Amino acid sequence: MKELLERIAAGDVLVADGAMGTMLMERGLAAGSPPESFNLERTDVLEQVAQEYLDAGADIIQTNTFGASRLKLARYSLGDDIEKINKNAVRAVKNVAQTKAYVSGSCGPTGQFLKPYGDVDHAEMRAVFREQIGALVSAGADVICIETMSDLREATCALEAAKECGSVPVMVTMTFNRTPKGFYTIMGVTIEETVKGLEAAGADIVGSNCGNGIENMISIAREFLKFTKLPIIIQSNAGIPELIDDKAVYPESPEFMAGKAKDLLAMGVRIIGGCCGTTPAHIMAIRKVVDAYGQV
Amino acid sequence: MWLSNRFNPPRAIIFEGSGMALLEQITLALQGGDTDGITELLKEALADKMKPGDILNSGLIAGMNIVGEKYKQHEIFLPEVMLAARAMHVAMDILKPLFMKDDVPALGRVVIGTVQGDIHDIGKNLVAIMLKGAGFEVIDLGNDVPPETFIETAVEKQAKVIGMSALLTTTMPVMKKVIEQLKERGLDGRIKTIIGGAPISDEFARRIGADAYGYDSVQAIDCIKKLVAES
């Protein structure tokens, strides 16, 4: 299998996978327990999910490690199992993906804030990411995906930590809200600031995930392309959930998202996947659109 | 960094010996999240025999209202609000012991928590900080709070409002349970409810019969003020 960055440099568009949390809940994860708890006892479920996304046509499959940092898992008394939780997750995906897809080590926010507005200092935050990403890389992750960030300083801590772990490529995605003044993260970071900060810290791929349906994501991607030549990744939610009969329903169908994904392709977005509310059916529909686009 | 580039706290213009100017300076120090400055200014104001109630209302709360307004206009973001709230905390620690029981009428008591099955508390914590900053007494039940605990605490402490937060779409229905149980016990109307969290919408709040929906922490405070005024 060619290196991920080589394929992108050669002009390939890659398809990433969809949501993880909902897949785990359908397979027995109790509300309120951390998804990462499955990495200790139920790696069979992790393999099932990876298999579904592989079958749907994903080129990149994420590990179930979004919240697998010490700062987050300590709250569930899982702080001593960080290495095992991260390594098991990589191995589970690797067992399924083999040489057919890239294993992407997911790394989400710690849920804590950096000083001065929070209590965590820069060195501690960086050490927390270093521990998690170190485990992901040593277990064989092909790429690290730092995602759903809203604080550029936290994202940069994670990115710097990832860069210390060898030559593994690093993608960083942040989550934006549309305001009358443009797109901002909840911490007030613009897309331009995101791009400049992440480029300077050595990101290989940048983009956005979560928080928006595909239509806002098209505007976000356009903004990213204005400011950077780095490859762009977009992982959209299937819209914003509506509660129907006490159950959250994401409104965007696979066909709708895949139809709009054509706009992302036309713009030159290089990795397209899904976030909350997307399913293997969404990924399969996007796969078809990406393949058809290459044929034109 | 991006924070320091954008973040230019307004600077105080100093008129010596003028009480107005001192309150103005407190307002500005609060907006800038300047905890050292606010400590000094409060000491000075108290040495000048200004009333703690005036300092609270015309200095601190006035400053917090400006912060809220700027946040709504997307002129400032979460970091600035958090810094201002932190300065508010420091200021309240100084003022609190000085209030006689009836000196400043408390705005009311609010019970707040993240609902059962959910442990996401960043938003809830922000609302709690902002509520305290606005002059409410806050009983924070933490996260993973069962419906009964919300209700029993509100009854016991004579709270006027229950605030509930959820991040997970799977825990949103717990909010409905709390509201239903309030109705069953004939407490609806006497104890108002407000809900918030990433997956929550105005429409959802209406559907389950919540009295209000807070889109963000600043709007939540506005809503709670209204709910308390109505009760």
pLDDT tens digits, one per residue of A32-64: 688 999 999 999 999 999 999 999 999 999 999
* Mean pLDDT, rounded, for A111-125: 91
Least CB-CB distance to B83: which of A116, A181, A240?
A116
Q: Tell me, what's the pLDDT at B104? A: 52
In this complex, do B169 and A118 lie within 8 Å of one another by their Cβ atoms? Answer: no
Which residues in chain B show pLDDT less than 50?
1-15, 102-103
- On whether any CB of chain B is under 8 Å from the CB of A75, the answer is yes
**Nearest by CB: B118 against A32, A184, A193:** A32
Q: Flag whether pLDDT at A189 surpasses 90.
A: yes
| pLDDT for residue A208 is more than 60 | yes
Give residue for tokens 């790696």.
A43
Angstrom distances, CA of residue A99 to CA of A1, A53, A95, A272, B32: 6, 14, 10, 20, 54
DSSP state of A195: H
Contact state of B168 with A31 under an 8 Å Cβ cutoff: yes
Q: Cα distance from A186 to chain B (closest Cα, Å)?
A: 6
Q: What is the mean pLDDT of residues A75-104?
A: 96
A37, A117, A183, best to mutate vs chain B, most B CBs in 10 Å = A117
Q: What is the pLDDT of residue A83?
A: 97
Residue contact A186–B78, C-beta within 8 A: yes
**Which residues of chain B have a CB within 8 Å of the CB of A29?**
none
Distance CA A96, CA B2 (A): 41
Is residue B82 less than 8 Å (CB to CB) from chain A?
A: yes
Which of A10-14, A167-171, B114-118, B173-177 has the least mean pLDDT?
B114-118
CB contact under 8 A, B3 and A111: no
A152/B76 CB distance under 8 A = no
Chain A interface includes B176 (CB < 8 A): yes
Please name the member of A179, A197, A248 whose beta carbon is closest to the beta carbon of B169.
A248
Question: Is A227 in the B-facing interface, judged by CB distances under 8 Å?
Answer: no
- Residue A211 sits at the vertex; the CA angle it makes with B7 and A162, to the nearest 5 degrees, is 70
Provide the sign of the torsion angle of the four alpha carbons A39, A40, A45, A50, taken in this order: positive
Quick check: A241 and B86 CB within 8 A? Answer: no
| Closest residue on chain A to B76 (Cα) | A188
Q: Token digits for B225? A: 């003020």
Task: Please state whether beta strands A177-179 and A143-149 pair in parallel, antiparallel, or not at all (unpaired).
Answer: unpaired
Please name the member of B74, B144, B173 whose beta carbon is closest to the beta carbon of A32.
Answer: B144
Q: With CB atoms and an 8 Å threshold, state whether B171 touches A118.
A: no
Least confident of A179-188, A189-198, B19-28: B19-28
CA dihedral for B139, B174, A67, A177, sign (positive or negative)? negative
Q: Which residues from B are below 8 Å from A197, CB to CB?
A: 1-2
- What residues form DSSP beta bridges with B191? B188
CA distance A271 to chain B (A): 26
Q: Taking CB atoms and an 8 Å limit, are B83 and A117 in contact across chains?
A: yes
B141 CB within 8 Å of a chain A CB? no
* Closest residue in chain A to residue B198, using alpha carbons only: A211
B62-72 vs B19-31: helix crossing angle, rounded to 10: 40
Closest in A117, A179, A189 to B2, CB measured? A189
Nearest Cα of chain B lies from the Cα of A94 at a distance, in angstroms, of 29
Task: Evaluate if residue A213 carries a pLDDT over 50.
Answer: yes
Distance to chain A for B83, nearest Cα, Å:
5
Interface A-B, measured as beta-carbon pairs within 8 A, has a size of: 73
Instruction: Give A-chain residues touching B199 at CB under 8 angstroms.
Output: 241, 243, 248
What residue ranges in B171-219 does DSSP mark as E strands? 192-196, 212-213
DSSP-derived secondary structure for A87-130: HHHHHHHHHHHTTTSEEEEEE---SS-BTTTSSB-HHHHHHHHH
- Its pTM stands at 0.84
- How far off is chain A from B48, nearest CA to CA, in Å? 31
Q: How far is B96 from chain A (nearest CA, A)?
A: 23
Query: Residue B169 and residue A189: Cβ atoms within 8 Å?
Result: no
